[in-house]
Homo-oligomer: A and B are copies of this chain.
Amino acid sequence: MEFNKNPKGIEARSMEIITEEVGNLGQSPQEDKVIKRVIHATADLEFAKLVVISKGAVEAGLSALKAGINIVTDVNMLKAGITKGKRRELNIKVNCFISNEEIATEAKKLGITRSMMSMRRAAQDKDNKIFAIGNAPTALFELIRLVKEGKAAPELIIGTPVGFVGAKESKEELEKLDIPYITVRGRKGGSPVAASIVNALLYMC
């Protein structure tokens, strides 16, 4: 079995194939990089039409990352997907509260999801400036509520929850928000989608 064993070579060739198949995407070379990294992570060309980047969102993300802020994720899978080398270099911390025991206890008491409770927890720390939500619509709904009530003020929301119940609707609410965002229309999304958007921004720093 002959196959390409060079990680850098595999990635470069993947990006070439994606460009051959979908051309240039987005409103700028930076947006093109973000959308192509989503396609690279999913091998799903449909994302060329689904990713939505609000005006100035890439710039907002880059300036936040360069300032060394914290990223919040809704699930540990997304946290694990964020590339370590570059974020350590930039001194970026990634916080995920979903597995904290007090989050579970509190959520149960209030009759809400752990995802929602972990957004409330994350909003308490003002250094949490980029919120990346790859899995739970309830986390995104809750974050939107916190923003509307002035209880959270992220510099960028990466909101790509996936699924059949609430995912599409939560992302439609995100698009109404007056905060820089990157999202995906419809049911599709997921942790690799959110991770690849974060990573695309990290690689550009």
Partner-B contacts on A (CB < 8 A)? 1, 3-7, 10, 13-14, 17-18, 40-44, 75-77, 79-81, 84, 99, 111-114, 116, 137-138, 141, 144-145, 162-167, 169-170, 173, 186-192, 195
In angstroms, how far is the closest chain B Cβ from the Cβ of A178?
Answer: 16
Q: Is the beta-carbon distance between A173 and B1 smaller than 8 angstroms?
A: yes
Could you give 10 example pairs across A and B, Cβ below 8 Å?
Answer: A4-B165, A5-B112, A7-B114, A17-B165, A40-B163, A40-B164, A43-B188, A77-B80, A77-B81, A81-B191
Whole-angstrom distance between the alpha carbons of A205 and B147 in the complex? 42
Tally of this chain's copies:
2
Q: Is the beta-carbon distance between A116 and B10 smaller than 8 angstroms?
A: no
Q: Is the beta-carbon distance between A13 and B43 smaller than 8 angstroms?
A: no
Residues of B within 8 A of A189 (CB): 43
Task: Given the known inter-chain contacts A76-B80, A81-B191, A190-B192, please indicate yes or no for A43 contacting B1, CB distance below 8 A.
Answer: no
Q: Is the beta-carbon distance between A162 and B42 smaller than 8 angstroms?
A: yes
Partner of A42, one of B6, B81, B188: B188
Q: Is the beta-carbon distance between B77 and A1 smaller than 8 angstroms?
A: no
In angstroms, how far is the closest chain B Cβ from the Cβ of A199?
Answer: 11
Q: Is the beta-carbon distance between B5 and A167 smaller than 8 angstroms?
A: no
Q: Is the beta-carbon distance between A18 and B191 smaller than 8 angstroms?
A: no
In angstroms, how far is the closest chain B Cβ from the Cβ of A107?
Answer: 9
- Residue in A1, A41, A141, A187 with the greatest tally of chain B CB atoms within 10 Å: A1
Residues of B within 8 A of A137 (CB): 3
9 A-B pairs with least C-beta separation: A43-B187, A80-B80, A14-B164, A76-B80, A77-B80, A77-B81, A17-B164, A10-B165, A43-B162
- Residue in A5, A40, A79, A116 with the greatest tally of chain B CB atoms within 10 Å: A5
Q: Is the beta-carbon distance between A170 and B3 smaller than 8 angstroms?
A: yes
In angstroms, how far is the closest chain B Cβ from the Cβ of A6?
Answer: 8
Task: Given the known inter-chain contacts A1-B173, A80-B79, please indicate yes or no for A41 contacting B162, CB distance below 8 A.
Answer: yes
